[in-house]
Amino acid sequence: MSAPAPTLYDEVPYPSALYPHTHPNRLATMATLFGLKTAAVEDCRVLEFGCGDGTNLIAMAYALPQCQFVGIDLAGLPIATGQQVIRELGLKNISLKQLDLMQTPVELGPIDFIIAHGLYSWVPENVRDKLLALCGRLLAENGVAYVSYNAYPGSHFRDMARGMMLYHATQFADPDQKIQQARALLNFIADSKEEPEPYHQIIKNELNQVLNRPASAIFHDNLSAINQPVYFCELVEHAAHHGLQYLSEANLWGMHMGSYPPSIDALLSSLDPADVIAREQYNDFVEGRTFRRTLLCRTGIKIDRSLQPERLYGLRFAADLRPAVPINDDPSLFPQVFKGPAGAELESSHSLVKAALTQLGKIWPQSLAFEDLLTDAQAHLGGNHDNSPREDDRLALAKALMQAHLGACLELHAYQAPFVTVVNDRPIASALARLQARKGSSISTLRHEALRLDASLSRQLVLLLDGTRDHADLSEVLSTLIKSGAITGSHEGEPTVDVNVAASCLLEGLETSLCSLARHAVLVA
C-alpha cells in the first residue's frame, strides 16, 4: 500500500501537546463513576486517531510500560518525528503509523480506550462517519471512546468570525501571512467602534481566543477548509448508528454547569430525569457551549448515572488543599475551610473529612486509595475518634470527596502515576522529561501535564538529573554554567549579571527548584 500524499500538516506541523482528559486514567475513572468496569489502567490497549507527532501517546506509553499504544495519523512528517522520539527512549509498547483513517484495519481491536481529539469537526463527513464506525468495531466490550468536537450553539459565534477570517486570508498564499492577516482582520473589526456593540464584543472575544493560540493551531483550526461544529444531540445520534451510546463528558463538572436562576432550574428539573441527552443539550443552550469532550461506550452496556458515593471506594484521591487557618487541637469542634488552586474553597465540619483533606494536602501531588485515606484520617484523629470506622463514617467521607470533586477541589484517579515527591541524594528526572528538555522548554510530567521550564536554570537542571550527581555536584555544574555565561543566574528572584552573586545564591535556589520539580511529578525513583 502506497503512503498517503503529503498534507498541510506536513507543511505546517500542528503544535505538540498533551491532552490530560484523554489519559486512560481519566477515562477509566469516569467509567467507574457511572458503573462501568473498564480494563485496568496499568494493563490496557489504547488507540489514538489523529495522533500527530505522538506527544500525547508517547507520554502515556512511557508512564505505562505494561500497556500497548497505537497512534494513527495521515501526515508523514509528524509520524516520523514521533517515531524518532520512541527510538531515543527505547519504548517497546507503542507504534505510530502513517495511515489513512479510511483504511484502518479492524484487526487492531479490541481496544480498551480510543482517543480522537480534535478530529471529528475537522474532517469530511465520510471520515467522521468512518471514525465512529471504527470506534463501534474496535472498542472492547467495556471500552471507552473519547471524541472531542466543536459544539453548537456557542460555535455559531466562532463560525461568524472564522468565515470572515477565511474570506480575507484566501488572498494570501503563505501560511504565515494567512495567520497574520486573519488576526489583523479581527483586530480591525473589534476596534472599529469606540463603544463596542454586542457584535463587536463577540469579535473581540474571538480575537482574544486567536491571540492566545499558537500560529500553527490557528492555521489548522480557524483557517481549516473544514471546521464543522455539531449539536451534542447530533453527535449522540450519529454514535448510536454505530452501536455506541453516551457515557459522560471527560469530567464531571463539564456535566454539572452550576446554579441557574430559580426559573431556569425549575424548567430543567421538569425534564425527564432519564433523558440525560435532553438535559445536556439544554445545558448547552443555556451555557452557549463551544466545545465538548464526550465519552462513548457500547450500546447495551448498563449505565448508572446516580453517582453512588460507594463507587469511590475503588478509586484514589489527590488534592492540593490547605486549611485557611491552622486546625485546632480538637478539629471536631469547628467547621474548617480548605483552599485549593484557582480560588476553590471547600468547607466541612465533619472531623473525619477534615482529617482526610488535611492528609491529602500534605502528600500532594501523590494520591491515596480510599481505604488508606480512611485509615490515615482515623490515625490523625487519634483519641478524638473511634479507631474502628463505622459504615456511616465511610459513607460520609465518600460523599464529601464526591462533593469536593464536583467543586473541582479534588482529583479522582484510577491508578497511581510512577513519580516520587521526595528529593533524594541523587535525584532523577524521567527520561522523557530529559529528552524533551534537550529539544525545547516544555516537558511532560508523569501526571500527564505539560510543564514549561525557564530557558536557563530549570531546563539545565532537568538535563543534569540522570541519577549520577548529588546536590553538591549539581550545584558545582550549575555554578560553572552561570560563571561561563551559559545560563543566567538570579538574585532575590531577579536576573543578575553578577555571576558571583548568582553562584552564591544557587544552593538555596537549587533545593527550591528540585522540590518544585518533585511537586510537578517530574522525578522518578
Q: What is the 3-state secondary structure (H, E, C) of 161-228?
A: HHHHHHHHHCCCCCHHHHHHHHHHHHHHHHCCCCCCCHHHHHHHHHHHHHHCCCHHHHHHHCCCCCCC
Q: Which residue, of 379, 413, 447, is where some domain finishes? A: 413
- CATH number of the domain residue 94 falls in: 3.40.50.150
State the chain's mean pLDDT as an integer: 89
Which pLDDT score, from 0 to 100, does residue 130 have?
97
Mean pLDDT of 463-484: 89
Residue 520 to residue 15: CA distance in whole angstroms: 22
Flag whether pLDDT at 486 surpasses 60: yes
Are 453 and 480 part of one and the same domain? yes
Are 65 and 94 part of one and the same domain? yes
Flag whether pLDDT at 484 surpasses 80: no
Which pLDDT score, from 0 to 100, does residue 489 have?
61
Are 133 and 56 part of one and the same domain? yes
Flag whether pLDDT at 296 surpasses 70: yes
Mean pLDDT of 464-470: 95
Question: Poorest-confidence range of 20-24, 99-103, 324-328?
Answer: 324-328
Are 284 and 374 part of one and the same domain? no
Instruction: Tell me if 3 is assigned to some domain.
Output: no
Look at the block and give the residue holding cell 501531588. 365
Flag whether pLDDT at 171 surpasses 80: yes
Instruction: Tell me if 423 is assigned to some domain.
Output: no
Q: pLDDT-based confidence at 294, cuts 50/70/90? A: very high
Residue 510's domain comprises: 428-524
> In the 8-state DSSP scheme, what is residue 407?
T
Are 202 and 328 part of one and the same domain? no
Instruction: Tell me if 304 is assigned to some domain.
Output: no
Flag whether pLDDT at 105 surpasses 90: no
> Which grid coordinates belong to 452?
514549561
Flag whether pLDDT at 456 surpasses 80: no
Are 392 and 480 part of one and the same domain? no
The candidate with the shortest Cα–Cα distance to 440, out of 1, 66, 7, 17, is 17
Look at the block and give the residue holding cell 545564591. 505
Mean pLDDT of 303-321: 93
- Is 335 in contact with 349 (CB distance < 8 Å)? yes
Q: pLDDT-based confidence at 84, cuts 50/70/90? A: very high
Instruction: Tell me if 37 is assigned to some domain.
Output: yes
Which pLDDT score, from 0 to 100, does residue 27 have?
98
Are 168 and 132 part of one and the same domain? no
Give me the number of domains the chain comprises: 4
> Which grid coordinates belong to 160?
461568524
Question: Poorest-confidence range of 50-59, 196-205, 466-475, 514-523?
Answer: 196-205
Instruction: Tell me if 1 is assigned to some domain.
Output: no
Are 20 and 138 part of one and the same domain? yes
Which pLDDT score, from 0 to 100, does residue 509 have?
77
Are 206 and 260 part of one and the same domain? no
Share of the chain above pLDDT 90, in %: 64
Phi, psi dihedral angles at 26 (to 5 degrees): -70, -45
Instruction: Tell me if 422 is assigned to some domain.
Output: no
What is the biggest distance separating any 2 CA atoms in the chain, rounded to whole angstroms? 76
Are 80 and 138 part of one and the same domain? yes
Residues 6+ apart with CB under 8 A from 296: 135, 144, 145, 147, 239, 244, 245, 246, 247
Which pLDDT score, from 0 to 100, does residue 381 have?
82
Q: Which residue, of 180, 199, 221, is where some domain finishes? A: 221
Instruction: Tell me if 460 is assigned to some domain.
Output: yes
Mean pLDDT of 173-191: 91
Flag whether pLDDT at 500 surpasses 70: no
Instruction: Tell me if 328 is assigned to some domain.
Output: yes
Are 292 and 170 part of one and the same domain? no
Are 111 and 174 part of one and the same domain? no
Which pLDDT score, from 0 to 100, does residue 112 have?
98
Which pLDDT score, from 0 to 100, does residue 501 have?
63
Residue 152 to residue 119: CA distance in whole angstroms: 16
Cα dihedral across residues 362, 523, 312, 145: positive or negative: positive
Mean pLDDT of 219-243: 96
